[in-house]
Structure 1
Amino acid sequence: MKLSRAASWFLLAFGVWTWFIWVSFVRNLWKNGSGLAFDTAGDPTAYFWVHLTLAVTSFLLGTAVGVIGLRGVLALRRASRPGAEDGAA
Protein backbone atom coordinates (compact mmCIF):
# COMPACT_ATOMS: atom_id res chain seq x y z
CA MET A 1 0.00 0.00 0.00
CA LYS A 2 1.26 3.46 -0.86
CA LEU A 3 0.56 6.44 1.33
CA SER A 4 0.29 9.93 -0.07
CA ARG A 5 2.80 12.53 1.00
CA ALA A 6 0.13 14.34 3.03
CA ALA A 7 -1.02 11.15 4.77
CA SER A 8 2.56 10.15 5.58
CA TRP A 9 3.39 13.53 7.11
CA PHE A 10 0.07 13.60 8.99
CA LEU A 11 0.73 10.19 10.55
CA LEU A 12 4.28 11.16 11.48
CA ALA A 13 3.09 14.45 13.01
CA PHE A 14 0.31 12.64 14.86
CA GLY A 15 2.82 10.22 16.39
CA VAL A 16 5.07 13.07 17.53
CA TRP A 17 2.09 15.03 18.86
CA THR A 18 0.87 12.00 20.80
CA TRP A 19 4.23 11.64 22.52
CA PHE A 20 4.38 15.36 23.32
CA ILE A 21 0.89 15.44 24.85
CA TRP A 22 1.16 12.22 26.86
CA VAL A 23 4.66 12.95 28.19
CA SER A 24 3.29 16.25 29.48
CA PHE A 25 0.29 14.47 30.97
CA VAL A 26 2.39 11.83 32.75
CA ARG A 27 4.70 14.52 34.11
CA ASN A 28 1.69 16.39 35.51
CA LEU A 29 0.16 13.17 36.82
CA TRP A 30 3.38 12.33 38.65
CA LYS A 31 3.50 15.79 40.26
CA ASN A 32 -0.20 15.73 41.17
CA GLY A 33 -0.76 17.13 44.64
CA SER A 34 -4.56 17.21 44.64
CA GLY A 35 -4.94 13.75 46.16
CA LEU A 36 -6.26 12.14 42.99
CA ALA A 37 -3.09 10.37 41.88
CA PHE A 38 -1.58 9.65 45.29
CA ASP A 39 -3.20 9.15 48.67
CA THR A 40 -2.05 10.79 51.88
CA ALA A 41 0.52 8.03 52.46
CA GLY A 42 2.02 8.73 49.02
CA ASP A 43 0.81 5.49 47.45
CA PRO A 44 -0.59 5.53 43.89
CA THR A 45 -4.39 5.45 43.64
CA ALA A 46 -6.61 3.69 41.11
CA TYR A 47 -6.85 7.04 39.28
CA PHE A 48 -3.07 7.01 38.85
CA TRP A 49 -2.96 3.42 37.54
CA VAL A 50 -5.83 3.93 35.10
CA HIS A 51 -4.30 7.08 33.65
CA LEU A 52 -0.83 5.59 33.52
CA THR A 53 -2.29 2.65 31.57
CA LEU A 54 -3.97 5.10 29.18
CA ALA A 55 -0.69 6.94 28.73
CA VAL A 56 1.33 3.76 28.02
CA THR A 57 -1.31 2.60 25.53
CA SER A 58 -1.20 5.99 23.82
CA PHE A 59 2.62 5.87 23.71
CA LEU A 60 2.46 2.50 21.96
CA LEU A 61 -0.23 3.55 19.49
CA GLY A 62 1.45 6.91 18.84
CA THR A 63 4.73 5.14 18.18
CA ALA A 64 3.09 2.70 15.75
CA VAL A 65 1.30 5.49 13.88
CA GLY A 66 4.47 7.60 13.79
CA VAL A 67 6.55 4.68 12.44
CA ILE A 68 4.00 4.08 9.68
CA GLY A 69 4.17 7.78 8.78
CA LEU A 70 7.98 7.79 8.87
CA ARG A 71 8.15 4.73 6.64
CA GLY A 72 5.77 6.44 4.20
CA VAL A 73 7.87 9.62 4.14
CA LEU A 74 11.10 7.65 3.63
CA ALA A 75 9.53 5.56 0.85
CA LEU A 76 8.38 8.70 -0.94
CA ARG A 77 11.86 10.22 -0.67
CA ARG A 78 13.44 7.05 -2.07
CA ALA A 79 10.93 6.98 -4.92
CA SER A 80 11.58 10.63 -5.81
CA ARG A 81 15.34 10.14 -6.23
CA PRO A 82 16.61 10.28 -9.80
CA GLY A 83 16.91 6.78 -11.27
CA ALA A 84 14.65 5.20 -8.66
CA GLU A 85 12.40 2.52 -10.08
CA ASP A 86 8.81 2.16 -8.91
CA GLY A 87 8.61 -0.60 -6.31
CA ALA A 88 12.39 -1.03 -5.94
CA ALA A 89 13.60 -1.65 -2.41
Structure 2
Amino acid sequence: MKLSRRVSWFLLAFGVWSWVIWVTFAKNLWKDGSGLAFDDAGNPTAYFWVHLALAVTSFILGTAVGVIGLRGVRANAGK
Protein backbone atom coordinates (compact mmCIF):
# COMPACT_ATOMS: atom_id res chain seq x y z
CA MET A 1 0.00 0.00 0.00
CA LYS A 2 1.31 3.41 -0.94
CA LEU A 3 0.47 6.54 1.02
CA SER A 4 -0.02 9.87 -0.66
CA ARG A 5 2.18 12.81 0.32
CA ARG A 6 -0.69 14.52 2.07
CA VAL A 7 -1.56 11.46 4.16
CA SER A 8 2.10 10.81 4.96
CA TRP A 9 2.61 14.37 6.22
CA PHE A 10 -0.61 14.19 8.22
CA LEU A 11 0.49 10.97 9.94
CA LEU A 12 3.93 12.40 10.66
CA ALA A 13 2.39 15.58 12.10
CA PHE A 14 0.07 13.45 14.23
CA GLY A 15 3.08 11.58 15.61
CA VAL A 16 4.83 14.83 16.54
CA TRP A 17 1.61 16.17 18.08
CA SER A 18 1.32 12.97 20.10
CA TRP A 19 4.79 13.47 21.56
CA VAL A 20 4.00 17.05 22.57
CA ILE A 21 0.57 16.36 24.03
CA TRP A 22 1.19 13.10 25.89
CA VAL A 23 4.61 13.99 27.29
CA THR A 24 3.10 17.24 28.59
CA PHE A 25 0.14 15.33 30.01
CA ALA A 26 2.42 12.86 31.82
CA LYS A 27 4.51 15.71 33.27
CA ASN A 28 1.38 17.46 34.50
CA LEU A 29 0.04 14.22 35.95
CA TRP A 30 3.30 13.72 37.86
CA LYS A 31 3.09 17.27 39.28
CA ASP A 32 -0.62 17.01 40.16
CA GLY A 33 -1.44 18.96 43.28
CA SER A 34 -5.21 18.47 43.27
CA GLY A 35 -5.10 15.30 45.34
CA LEU A 36 -6.40 13.05 42.58
CA ALA A 37 -3.12 11.51 41.46
CA PHE A 38 -1.50 11.17 44.88
CA ASP A 39 -2.99 10.58 48.31
CA ASP A 40 -2.06 12.52 51.44
CA ALA A 41 0.97 10.29 52.04
CA GLY A 42 2.27 10.96 48.52
CA ASN A 43 1.44 7.50 47.17
CA PRO A 44 0.04 7.17 43.65
CA THR A 45 -3.70 6.52 43.44
CA ALA A 46 -5.67 4.42 40.97
CA TYR A 47 -6.42 7.67 39.10
CA PHE A 48 -2.67 8.15 38.58
CA TRP A 49 -2.08 4.60 37.30
CA VAL A 50 -5.04 4.61 34.93
CA HIS A 51 -4.12 7.96 33.42
CA LEU A 52 -0.45 7.03 33.19
CA ALA A 53 -1.42 3.84 31.32
CA LEU A 54 -3.61 5.90 28.95
CA ALA A 55 -0.80 8.36 28.33
CA VAL A 56 1.81 5.67 27.69
CA THR A 57 -0.50 3.73 25.37
CA SER A 58 -1.43 6.86 23.42
CA PHE A 59 2.23 7.88 23.23
CA ILE A 60 3.23 4.48 21.82
CA LEU A 61 0.39 4.43 19.28
CA GLY A 62 1.12 8.02 18.24
CA THR A 63 4.78 7.14 17.78
CA ALA A 64 3.85 4.17 15.58
CA VAL A 65 1.57 6.37 13.45
CA GLY A 66 4.34 8.96 13.16
CA VAL A 67 6.84 6.32 12.03
CA ILE A 68 4.42 5.17 9.33
CA GLY A 69 4.06 8.78 8.22
CA LEU A 70 7.84 9.29 8.20
CA ARG A 71 8.30 6.21 6.03
CA GLY A 72 5.65 7.52 3.64
CA VAL A 73 7.31 10.95 3.47
CA ARG A 74 10.69 9.33 2.76
CA ALA A 75 9.17 7.08 0.08
CA ASN A 76 7.58 10.08 -1.64
CA ALA A 77 10.67 12.31 -1.33
CA GLY A 78 12.27 11.14 -4.55
CA LYS A 79 9.18 11.79 -6.62
Q: TM-score, normalised by structure 1?
A: 0.87
- What do residues 31-76 of structure 1 show as CA deviations (whole Å, max 9, x unaligned)? 0011000000000000000000000101110010000000000000
Higher relative helix content: 2
How many residues align structurally? 79
Work out which structure has the larger RCO, using CA pairs closer than 8 Å and 6 or more positions apart in sequence. Answer: 2
Residue 19 of structure 1 and its aligned partner are, at CA, apart by 1.0
Moved over 6 A (4+): none
Q: Which has the larger radius of gyration?
A: 1
Residue 10 of structure 1 and its aligned partner are, at CA, apart by 0.1
State whether structure 2 residue 61 is matched by structure 1 residue 61.
yes
Unaligned runs of 5+ in 1: 81-89
Query: Counterpart in 1 of 2:77?
Result: 77
